[in-house]
Structure 1
Protein backbone atom coordinates (compact mmCIF):
# COMPACT_ATOMS: atom_id res chain seq x y z
CA UNK A 1 0.00 0.00 0.00
CA UNK A 2 2.68 2.53 0.87
CA UNK A 3 5.00 1.02 -1.56
CA UNK A 4 3.43 2.89 -4.46
CA UNK A 5 3.34 6.39 -3.07
CA UNK A 6 5.52 8.62 -5.07
CA UNK A 7 7.37 11.36 -3.35
CA UNK A 8 8.54 14.14 -5.56
CA UNK A 9 7.36 15.46 -8.86
CA UNK A 10 10.35 14.85 -11.00
CA UNK A 11 10.06 12.38 -13.68
CA UNK A 12 12.30 9.34 -13.27
CA UNK A 13 13.17 9.98 -9.66
CA UNK A 14 10.50 8.25 -7.73
CA UNK A 15 10.89 7.23 -4.14
CA UNK A 16 8.70 4.70 -2.59
CA UNK A 17 7.78 5.65 1.00
CA UNK A 18 6.96 2.10 1.97
CA UNK A 19 10.38 0.88 0.94
CA UNK A 20 11.97 3.76 2.78
CA UNK A 21 10.01 3.01 5.89
CA UNK A 22 10.92 -0.67 5.63
CA UNK A 23 14.60 0.19 5.19
CA UNK A 24 14.46 2.61 8.11
CA UNK A 25 12.94 -0.05 10.37
CA UNK A 26 15.53 -2.57 9.20
CA UNK A 27 18.27 -0.02 9.86
CA UNK A 28 16.94 0.63 13.39
CA UNK A 29 16.66 -3.12 14.09
CA UNK A 30 20.15 -3.66 12.70
CA UNK A 31 21.51 -0.83 14.87
CA UNK A 32 19.76 -2.31 17.91
CA UNK A 33 21.24 -5.74 17.18
CA UNK A 34 24.67 -4.25 16.65
CA UNK A 35 24.33 -2.25 19.87
CA UNK A 36 23.14 -5.34 21.74
CA UNK A 37 25.59 -7.94 20.40
CA UNK A 38 28.52 -6.30 18.62
CA UNK A 39 29.01 -2.93 20.33
CA UNK A 40 30.13 -4.42 23.66
CA UNK A 41 32.71 -6.81 22.16
CA UNK A 42 33.97 -4.11 19.77
CA UNK A 43 34.31 -1.64 22.66
CA UNK A 44 35.97 -4.34 24.78
CA UNK A 45 38.35 -5.12 21.94
CA UNK A 46 39.15 -1.42 21.48
CA UNK A 47 39.63 -0.97 25.24
CA UNK A 48 41.84 -4.07 25.35
CA UNK A 49 43.88 -2.74 22.45
CA UNK A 50 44.17 0.68 24.12
CA UNK A 51 45.26 -1.03 27.37
CA UNK A 52 47.78 -3.18 25.50
CA UNK A 53 49.20 -0.11 23.75
CA UNK A 54 49.36 1.72 27.08
CA UNK A 55 51.10 -1.28 28.67
CA UNK A 56 53.52 -1.47 25.75
CA UNK A 57 54.31 2.22 26.16
CA UNK A 58 54.80 1.76 29.91
CA UNK A 59 56.94 -1.32 29.29
CA UNK A 60 59.00 0.57 26.73
CA UNK A 61 59.48 3.40 29.23
CA UNK A 62 60.53 0.91 31.91
CA UNK A 63 62.92 -0.73 29.45
CA UNK A 64 64.37 2.67 28.55
CA UNK A 65 64.84 3.55 32.24
CA UNK A 66 66.42 0.16 32.89
CA UNK A 67 68.68 0.54 29.86
CA UNK A 68 69.77 3.97 31.09
CA UNK A 69 70.43 2.50 34.53
CA UNK A 70 72.48 -0.35 33.03
CA UNK A 71 74.39 2.09 30.84
CA UNK A 72 75.15 4.20 33.91
CA UNK A 73 76.28 1.10 35.84
CA UNK A 74 78.49 0.02 32.94
CA UNK A 75 79.98 3.49 32.72
CA UNK A 76 80.66 3.47 36.47
CA UNK A 77 82.16 -0.02 36.21
CA UNK A 78 84.32 1.13 33.30
CA UNK A 79 85.43 4.21 35.24
CA UNK A 80 86.16 2.02 38.27
CA UNK A 81 88.14 -0.42 36.14
CA UNK A 82 90.14 2.47 34.67
CA UNK A 83 90.83 3.79 38.16
CA UNK A 84 91.75 0.30 39.36
CA UNK A 85 94.03 -0.25 36.37
CA UNK A 86 95.73 3.08 37.05
CA UNK A 87 96.12 2.13 40.69
CA UNK A 88 97.58 -1.26 39.77
CA UNK A 89 100.02 0.37 37.35
CA UNK A 90 101.08 2.93 39.95
CA UNK A 91 101.48 0.21 42.58
CA UNK A 92 103.53 -1.86 40.15
CA UNK A 93 105.74 1.15 39.40
CA UNK A 94 106.21 1.84 43.11
CA UNK A 95 106.89 -1.82 43.80
CA UNK A 96 109.36 -1.94 40.91
CA UNK A 97 111.15 1.16 42.21
CA UNK A 98 111.35 -0.31 45.72
CA UNK A 99 112.55 -3.64 44.34
CA UNK A 100 115.16 -1.85 42.22
CA UNK A 101 116.39 0.09 45.26
CA UNK A 102 116.51 -3.13 47.28
CA UNK A 103 118.44 -4.95 44.55
CA UNK A 104 120.87 -2.04 44.17
CA UNK A 105 121.35 -1.87 47.94
CA UNK A 106 121.92 -5.62 48.15
CA UNK A 107 124.36 -5.49 45.24
CA UNK A 108 126.27 -2.62 46.87
CA UNK A 109 126.38 -4.46 50.19
CA UNK A 110 127.53 -7.63 48.48
CA UNK A 111 130.18 -5.70 46.52
CA UNK A 112 131.40 -4.08 49.74
CA UNK A 113 131.43 -7.46 51.45
CA UNK A 114 133.38 -8.99 48.57
CA UNK A 115 135.79 -6.06 48.60
CA UNK A 116 136.31 -6.39 52.35
CA UNK A 117 136.80 -10.14 52.01
CA UNK A 118 139.25 -9.58 49.16
CA UNK A 119 141.17 -7.10 51.35
CA UNK A 120 141.23 -9.64 54.17
CA UNK A 121 142.36 -12.35 51.77
CA UNK A 122 145.07 -10.05 50.41
CA UNK A 123 146.21 -9.19 53.93
CA UNK A 124 146.21 -12.85 54.87
CA UNK A 125 148.11 -13.78 51.71
CA UNK A 126 150.55 -10.96 52.38
CA UNK A 127 151.00 -12.09 55.97
CA UNK A 128 151.41 -15.70 54.83
CA UNK A 129 153.89 -14.64 52.14
CA UNK A 130 155.82 -12.54 54.65
CA UNK A 131 155.84 -15.40 57.14
CA UNK A 132 156.93 -17.80 54.42
CA UNK A 133 159.61 -15.36 53.29
CA UNK A 134 160.78 -14.97 56.89
CA UNK A 135 160.91 -18.72 57.28
CA UNK A 136 162.80 -19.08 53.99
CA UNK A 137 165.18 -16.29 54.93
CA UNK A 138 165.67 -17.83 58.34
CA UNK A 139 166.43 -21.21 56.83
CA UNK A 140 168.81 -19.68 54.31
CA UNK A 141 170.43 -17.56 56.97
CA UNK A 142 170.94 -20.59 59.15
CA UNK A 143 172.46 -22.46 56.30
CA UNK A 144 174.70 -19.56 55.35
CA UNK A 145 175.65 -18.87 58.94
CA UNK A 146 176.49 -22.48 59.59
CA UNK A 147 178.70 -22.57 56.52
CA UNK A 148 180.34 -19.25 57.32
CA UNK A 149 180.87 -19.75 60.97
CA UNK A 150 181.46 -23.43 60.73
CA UNK A 151 180.06 -23.57 64.04
CA UNK A 152 177.11 -25.65 64.64
CA UNK A 153 174.33 -24.19 66.62
CA UNK A 154 171.16 -25.96 67.31
CA UNK A 155 168.40 -25.10 64.91
CA UNK A 156 166.17 -23.24 67.42
CA UNK A 157 169.03 -21.01 68.54
CA UNK A 158 169.90 -20.17 64.96
CA UNK A 159 166.27 -19.45 64.13
CA UNK A 160 165.93 -17.14 67.13
CA UNK A 161 169.11 -15.35 66.15
CA UNK A 162 167.92 -14.85 62.57
CA UNK A 163 164.42 -13.79 63.65
CA UNK A 164 165.88 -11.15 65.92
CA UNK A 165 168.11 -9.99 63.08
CA UNK A 166 165.11 -9.79 60.66
CA UNK A 167 163.04 -7.94 63.23
CA UNK A 168 165.91 -5.54 63.64
CA UNK A 169 165.84 -4.98 59.88
CA UNK A 170 162.07 -4.44 59.96
CA UNK A 171 162.37 -1.88 62.80
CA UNK A 172 165.00 0.12 60.99
CA UNK A 173 162.64 0.78 58.11
Structure 2
Protein backbone atom coordinates (compact mmCIF):
# COMPACT_ATOMS: atom_id res chain seq x y z
CA UNK A 1 0.00 0.00 0.00
CA UNK A 2 1.15 3.34 -0.81
CA UNK A 3 1.65 6.08 1.65
CA UNK A 4 -0.14 9.26 1.28
CA UNK A 5 1.50 12.55 0.73
CA UNK A 6 4.05 11.53 -1.83
CA UNK A 7 6.45 9.80 0.52
CA UNK A 8 8.27 6.68 -0.27
CA UNK A 9 6.30 3.79 -1.44
CA UNK A 10 6.20 1.16 1.15
CA UNK A 11 6.31 -2.45 0.17
CA UNK A 12 3.72 -4.87 1.50
CA UNK A 13 4.78 -6.55 4.64
CA UNK A 14 7.36 -9.28 4.18
CA UNK A 15 8.14 -8.32 0.61
CA UNK A 16 10.91 -6.06 -0.59
CA UNK A 17 9.89 -3.01 -2.58
CA UNK A 18 9.56 -3.67 -6.32
CA UNK A 19 11.49 -0.62 -7.44
CA UNK A 20 13.42 -0.03 -4.26
CA UNK A 21 13.39 3.23 -2.55
CA UNK A 22 13.15 5.94 -5.24
CA UNK A 23 14.52 8.53 -2.88
CA UNK A 24 17.71 6.53 -2.28
CA UNK A 25 17.97 5.72 -5.95
CA UNK A 26 17.63 9.39 -6.90
CA UNK A 27 20.29 10.54 -4.43
CA UNK A 28 22.55 7.66 -5.44
CA UNK A 29 22.24 8.77 -9.05
CA UNK A 30 22.99 12.38 -8.10
CA UNK A 31 25.98 11.24 -6.03
CA UNK A 32 27.17 9.07 -8.91
CA UNK A 33 26.99 11.92 -11.40
CA UNK A 34 28.64 14.36 -9.00
CA UNK A 35 31.39 11.83 -8.34
CA UNK A 36 31.69 11.22 -12.07
CA UNK A 37 31.96 14.99 -12.71
CA UNK A 38 34.60 15.33 -9.99
CA UNK A 39 36.53 12.36 -11.30
CA UNK A 40 36.33 13.86 -14.79
CA UNK A 41 37.48 17.26 -13.58
CA UNK A 42 40.23 16.13 -11.17
CA UNK A 43 41.26 12.57 -12.06
CA UNK A 44 40.49 12.07 -15.76
CA UNK A 45 43.07 14.55 -17.07
CA UNK A 46 45.93 13.33 -14.82
CA UNK A 47 45.10 9.70 -15.55
CA UNK A 48 44.76 10.49 -19.25
CA UNK A 49 48.07 12.42 -19.14
CA UNK A 50 49.74 9.54 -17.30
CA UNK A 51 48.41 7.04 -19.85
CA UNK A 52 49.49 9.35 -22.70
CA UNK A 53 52.94 9.68 -21.12
CA UNK A 54 53.18 5.92 -20.67
CA UNK A 55 52.10 5.43 -24.31
CA UNK A 56 54.70 7.94 -25.46
CA UNK A 57 57.37 6.27 -23.32
CA UNK A 58 56.51 2.86 -24.75
CA UNK A 59 56.42 4.21 -28.31
CA UNK A 60 59.74 5.98 -27.71
CA UNK A 61 61.24 2.78 -26.33
CA UNK A 62 59.95 0.80 -29.31
CA UNK A 63 61.28 3.44 -31.71
CA UNK A 64 64.63 3.48 -29.91
CA UNK A 65 64.75 -0.33 -29.99
CA UNK A 66 64.01 -0.29 -33.73
CA UNK A 67 66.72 2.34 -34.27
CA UNK A 68 69.14 0.21 -32.27
CA UNK A 69 68.11 -2.82 -34.29
CA UNK A 70 68.77 -0.92 -37.54
CA UNK A 71 72.08 0.36 -36.15
CA UNK A 72 73.10 -3.13 -35.03
CA UNK A 73 72.16 -4.53 -38.44
CA UNK A 74 74.17 -1.79 -40.13
CA UNK A 75 77.13 -2.51 -37.83
CA UNK A 76 76.80 -6.22 -38.60
CA UNK A 77 76.81 -5.48 -42.32
CA UNK A 78 79.84 -3.20 -41.92
CA UNK A 79 81.62 -5.87 -39.88
CA UNK A 80 80.76 -8.45 -42.54
CA UNK A 81 82.04 -6.11 -45.26
CA UNK A 82 85.20 -5.44 -43.24
CA UNK A 83 85.70 -9.17 -42.78
CA UNK A 84 85.26 -9.78 -46.50
CA UNK A 85 87.64 -6.90 -47.27
CA UNK A 86 90.18 -8.24 -44.76
CA UNK A 87 89.98 -11.71 -46.29
CA UNK A 88 90.39 -10.22 -49.75
CA UNK A 89 93.41 -8.19 -48.61
CA UNK A 90 94.88 -11.29 -46.95
CA UNK A 91 94.40 -13.29 -50.16
CA UNK A 92 95.99 -10.48 -52.17
CA UNK A 93 98.91 -10.36 -49.73
CA UNK A 94 99.36 -14.13 -49.98
CA UNK A 95 99.14 -13.92 -53.77
CA UNK A 96 101.73 -11.11 -53.85
CA UNK A 97 104.02 -13.05 -51.50
CA UNK A 98 103.60 -16.20 -53.58
CA UNK A 99 104.33 -14.28 -56.77
CA UNK A 100 107.34 -12.60 -55.16
CA UNK A 101 108.62 -16.00 -54.00
CA UNK A 102 108.04 -17.45 -57.48
CA UNK A 103 109.81 -14.48 -59.08
CA UNK A 104 112.71 -14.83 -56.63
CA UNK A 105 112.91 -18.56 -57.37
CA UNK A 106 112.88 -17.88 -61.10
CA UNK A 107 115.58 -15.22 -60.69
CA UNK A 108 117.74 -17.59 -58.65
CA UNK A 109 117.25 -20.40 -61.18
CA UNK A 110 118.01 -18.02 -64.07
CA UNK A 111 121.14 -16.69 -62.33
CA UNK A 112 122.28 -20.22 -61.50
CA UNK A 113 121.71 -21.31 -65.10
CA UNK A 114 123.56 -18.24 -66.36
CA UNK A 115 126.42 -18.95 -63.95
CA UNK A 116 126.56 -22.60 -65.07
CA UNK A 117 126.55 -21.47 -68.70
CA UNK A 118 129.34 -18.99 -67.94
CA UNK A 119 131.31 -21.70 -66.12
CA UNK A 120 130.86 -24.04 -69.10
CA UNK A 121 131.97 -21.29 -71.47
CA UNK A 122 135.02 -20.48 -69.31
CA UNK A 123 135.86 -24.18 -69.03
CA UNK A 124 135.47 -24.62 -72.78
CA UNK A 125 137.63 -21.54 -73.40
CA UNK A 126 140.25 -22.81 -70.92
CA UNK A 127 140.19 -26.25 -72.54
CA UNK A 128 140.58 -24.75 -76.00
CA UNK A 129 143.37 -22.50 -74.74
CA UNK A 130 145.10 -25.43 -73.02
CA UNK A 131 144.65 -27.53 -76.16
CA UNK A 132 146.20 -24.80 -78.30
CA UNK A 133 149.01 -24.40 -75.79
CA UNK A 134 149.60 -28.16 -75.77
CA UNK A 135 149.61 -28.20 -79.59
CA UNK A 136 152.18 -25.38 -79.65
CA UNK A 137 154.32 -27.14 -77.06
CA UNK A 138 153.96 -30.42 -78.94
CA UNK A 139 155.00 -28.76 -82.18
CA UNK A 140 157.98 -27.14 -80.49
CA UNK A 141 158.99 -30.44 -78.89
CA UNK A 142 158.47 -32.33 -82.14
CA UNK A 143 160.48 -29.71 -84.02
CA UNK A 144 163.29 -29.92 -81.49
CA UNK A 145 163.27 -33.71 -81.69
CA UNK A 146 163.19 -33.58 -85.46
CA UNK A 147 166.16 -31.22 -85.48
CA UNK A 148 168.09 -33.43 -83.17
CA UNK A 149 167.29 -36.40 -85.38
CA UNK A 150 168.26 -34.41 -88.47
CA UNK A 151 171.56 -33.40 -86.90
CA UNK A 152 172.33 -37.03 -86.20
CA UNK A 153 171.33 -38.09 -89.67
CA UNK A 154 173.22 -35.27 -91.38
CA UNK A 155 176.12 -35.47 -89.04
CA UNK A 156 176.54 -31.74 -88.82
CA UNK A 157 175.14 -28.93 -86.72
CA UNK A 158 172.14 -27.13 -88.06
CA UNK A 159 172.39 -23.36 -88.22
CA UNK A 160 169.76 -21.00 -86.92
CA UNK A 161 168.52 -20.27 -90.44
CA UNK A 162 168.26 -24.00 -91.18
CA UNK A 163 166.50 -24.46 -87.88
CA UNK A 164 163.90 -21.75 -88.59
CA UNK A 165 163.28 -23.13 -92.06
CA UNK A 166 162.80 -26.69 -90.77
CA UNK A 167 160.53 -25.56 -87.93
CA UNK A 168 158.37 -23.63 -90.36
CA UNK A 169 158.06 -26.57 -92.72
CA UNK A 170 157.36 -28.98 -89.88
CA UNK A 171 154.76 -26.72 -88.28
CA UNK A 172 152.98 -26.33 -91.60
CA UNK A 173 152.98 -30.08 -92.21
CA UNK A 174 152.10 -30.95 -88.61
CA UNK A 175 149.41 -28.25 -88.55
CA UNK A 176 147.80 -29.81 -91.60
CA UNK A 177 147.90 -33.22 -89.92
CA UNK A 178 146.53 -32.05 -86.54
CA UNK A 179 143.76 -29.83 -87.84
Q: In the superposition, relative to structure 1, how do residues 34 and 160 fare at CA in structure 2: closer, same or farther (>3 Å)?
A: same
Q: Which residue of 1 aligns with 2:168?
A: 164
Q: In the superposition, relative to structure 1, how do residues 35 and 10 fare at CA in structure 2: closer, same or farther (>3 Å)?
A: farther
Quote the Cα distance in structure 1 between the aligned partners of 2:11 and 2:131.
155
Quote the Cα distance in structure 2 between the aligned partners of 1:67 and 1:110.
63
Offset, 1:81? 4.3
Offset, 1:18? 6.0
Q: In the superposition, relative to structure 1, how do residues 13 and 131 fare at CA in structure 2: closer, same or farther (>3 Å)?
A: farther
Quote the Cα distance in structure 2 between the aligned partners of 1:168 and 1:20.
163
* Runs (5+) with no aligned partner, structure 1: none
Between the two proteins, the alignment pairs up a number of residues equal to 169
* Runs (5+) with no aligned partner, structure 2: 1-6
1:36 corresponds to which of 36, 41, 63? 41
2:14 corresponds to which of 8, 11, 16? 11
Q: Tell me, yes or no, if the aligned pair for 1:142 and 1:158 is still in contact at 8 Å.
A: no
Q: Tell me, yes or no, if the aligned pair for 1:7 and 1:17 is still in contact at 8 Å.
A: no
Offset, 1:119? 1.0
TM-score of the superposition, structure 1-length normalised?
0.64
From the two aligned structures, give the one with the greater helix fraction.
1
Q: In the superposition, relative to structure 1, how do residues 8 and 80 fare at CA in structure 2: closer, same or farther (>3 Å)?
A: farther
